[in-house]
Amino acid sequence: MSVDETIAILNEDTINRIAAGEVVERPASVVKELIENAIDAGASDIVVETQGPPGTFIKVSDNGQGMSRHDVRLAFMRHATSKIRTADDLPNVLSMGFRGEALPSIAAVSRVEVITRRKQDPVGTRIVFEGGVHTTRENHPAQVGSTVVIRDLFYNTPARRKFQKSPSTEAGHIRDAIGRLALGQPDVRFRLICDGKVVLVSQGQGDRRNTIASVYGSEIVKGLLPIAAGSQDTRIEGFITPPDVSRTRRDMQHVFVNGRPCIVPALMRTIENVYGRRLPNRRYPAVFLWMLTNPASCDVNVHPAKREVRFSKNHDIFRLVAQATSSALRSVGAAPDLGWKLGSGDSGLEADVQDRTQRMGMPHGDGMLGICRLSTGSSGMGLSNAGMIQDSYTQHSTQWQTETGYSRFRPIGIFQDTYILAEDGEDLVIIDQHAAHERIIYEEILRALTEGVHVNTQTLIPQPLELTPGVVQEVTPYLSELAGIGIILEEFGVSSLLLRGVPSALTAYGGTDPIGAVSSAIELLAEEVSSGVDSIKATDRIKDLLGRVAAELACKAVVKARDRLDPKEVEELLLDLTRAEDPYSCPHGRPTLLRISRDELERSFRRK
């Protein structure tokens, strides 16, 4: 090559391996591409089997129309496809695939065997490729349809194999890929069999609710709210969860455009905006949307793996979805508040005030609005425009625990069933009961992690927790570590765990939800594991993960604002808070208490 010849045309093997890098990211990518081919071939029954570590052996069988002896050879040539003929066909594509890149890309980095037969052919065809090289083509007995076997994925690209995640993580990606495709094609029956064990089965009867239950368990289906909207050329149907059924991650947010699973982040943000503050911080709804639209109005050719889609009329689509979501939430009384609506004068506000005071068992009129007395003789006080209130941390860093073991606080009332009012010497202290309880629970669990302190466990009647198979798969290796912080779990099928015990601190106060807290904590752990721990159990990393689980438990299981505590529970809460190492903030950094000195009060009332 001369100095002027610096650009060269790559050979076919190099081209195919580069293309494989775009199309075949991991074993789940192979499964996705092969299933999409089966769907395009008209299959109504698709079986996926894996053996050993993901990528070692993948088999996808379908009852589609099959291929002829000529077509099966042609299918492994780059840009050979039965879906389109010219560029003019691209705007009207309704098939799952159309580029003709998947099979040659897969064959370039694995050993491939295909057995296929059409209904009109007396005998089938078997063809074998190794590293993209055609080695065998012969007649072979076969059922109508196709069976594709992939062995030793990435055997000739060791660098690619090295960057694969742990076997459990890759197996989870395979299951997720099949779950998405099953949801997008509810009239197709799917089965996933891993090492001889049936992991997923969808019935293929066209029932979307049943398909959701097959993929994510029956529990999620119970509270789903149907949504529907339409315009001249677009029809949207689906389900969302009510605000009280939310998740720690967005793994249950799905959009299917003409049967194709797609990622449309802006659309999901639109839906979450409709929920607004009805969703707790860092919690997300489950969303299942099926959209039928004119293929010319959306572009599916914008991503190498066809994961993303663009709409020519984004605003119209998003408006339809927002309206449908708002309507569904309104049907269960969870529509966004649009502001106060008062009648003539202040009668509306007056009625609301009276209703609230009656519900709190307090007289309306001259009584102390919103403040409940804890015992006879306790004084109540209304605090309005009381001046500057400062966090006590910077002013009070003295030892909290008293020699007698009693709380230094004397409770005098509760405001709005949320804030405990207490005396501390000559200071008024306002304690957020939720934040304080979070700190107490968090430190108890954290001591078990850092000091090996035994966590008292409350034994429960065994309670099945409905989770996704992916979550169960990620969490199962850490059941012993979870037991160390008081969460006693057992394996219980593919998509659930059996809860036998929780930390006793989670059940110390009435109105808490320890089971819901454990479910949220498990989902958080699964998310963290899938994104970080990989195959090596690093002790420090696991402790960090369990620390986050402790924070999640503390947040979800503790008493909430508006949860009414009896006087004994208030005293126990204040005593436990005085024993905390850091009583000034919750695990998320919010203050647990505010302090107003007598001097500040007197200055506010101009007594000084």
How many C-beta atoms surround the C-beta of residue 434 within 10 A? 20
Angle (CA) 210 212 214, round 5°: 70
Alpha carbons 62 and 13: distance in angstroms, whole number? 29
Q: Is 430 helix (H, G, I), strand (E, B) or coil?
A: strand
CB 57 within 8 A of CB 151: yes
Structure-model confidence comparison of residues 405 and 407, the more confident one = 407
β-strand 253-257 against 287-293: which pairing, if any? parallel
User: Is 540 buried (19+), middle (13-18) or exposed (0-12) by CB count in 10 A?
Assistant: exposed
Residue 484 has pLDDT above 60, yes or no: yes
Q: What is the mean pLDDT of residues 429-457?
A: 74
The distance from CA 127 to its chain's CA centroid, rounded to whole angstroms, is 41
Residue 385 has pLDDT above 90, yes or no: no
**Which is nearest to 27 in space by CA: 2, 60, 63, 64?**
60
DSSP 513-555: -HHHHHHHHHHHHHHHHHHTTTTS--HHHHHHHHHHHHHHHHH
Alpha carbons 99 and 538: distance in angstroms, whole number? 43
- Among the ranges given (1-5, 101-105, 511-515), the one the predictor scored with the smallest mean pLDDT: 1-5
Alpha carbons 322 and 236: distance in angstroms, whole number? 11
Name the average pLDDT for the chain: 76
User: Is 333 buried (19+), middle (13-18) or exposed (0-12) by CB count in 10 A?
Assistant: exposed
Residue 570: partners with Cβ closer than 8 Å, 6 or more residues away: 374, 411, 414, 420, 433
Alpha carbons 570 and 420: distance in angstroms, whole number? 8
- Amino acid at position 528, single letter: E
How many C-beta atoms surround the C-beta of residue 589 within 10 A? 7
CB 261 within 8 A of CB 271: no
What's the confidence (pLDDT) of residue 433? 84
Conformational region of residue 41, where left means phi above 0, alpha means psi within -120 to 50, and beta covers everything else: alpha
Give pLDDT tens digits for 214-231. Answer: 999 888 888 899 999 888
What's the confidence (pLDDT) of residue 89? 57
Alpha carbons 334 and 275: distance in angstroms, whole number? 8
What's the confidence (pLDDT) of residue 280? 74
**Which is nearest to 368 in space by CA: 386, 381, 349, 384?**
381
Positive or negative torsion for Cα 503, 508, 509, 515: positive
Residue 282: partners with Cβ closer than 8 Å, 6 or more residues away: 248
Alpha carbons 39 and 256: distance in angstroms, whole number? 15
CB 198 within 8 A of CB 469: no
Residue 1 has pLDDT above 60, yes or no: no
CB 522 within 8 A of CB 497: yes
**Which is nearest to 43 in space by CA: 98, 96, 121?**
96
Going by pLDDT thresholds of 50, 70 and 90, the confidence category of residue 358 is very low
pTM for the whole structure = 0.65
Q: What is the mean pLDDT of residues 182-206?
A: 94
Going by pLDDT thresholds of 50, 70 and 90, the confidence category of residue 204 is very high
Q: Residue for token digits 């949220």? A: 520
Alpha carbons 54 and 26: distance in angstroms, whole number? 9
What's the confidence (pLDDT) of residue 561? 60
Mind listing the domains of the chain with CATH numbers?
12-209 (3.30.565.10), 223-331 (3.30.230.10), 340-367 (no CATH), 370-608 (3.30.1540.20)
Conformational region of residue 238, where left means phi above 0, alpha means psi within -120 to 50, and beta covers everything else: left
Give pLDDT tens digits for 254-289. Answer: 999 888 898 888 889 999 988 887 777 778 899 999
Q: What is the mean pLDDT of residues 503-523?
A: 70
Q: How far is CA 347 from CA 339, 350, 352, 356, in A?
A: 16, 5, 9, 14
Structure-model confidence comparison of residues 572 and 149, the more confident one = 149
* Torsions phi, psi for 408 (to 5 deg): -75, -10
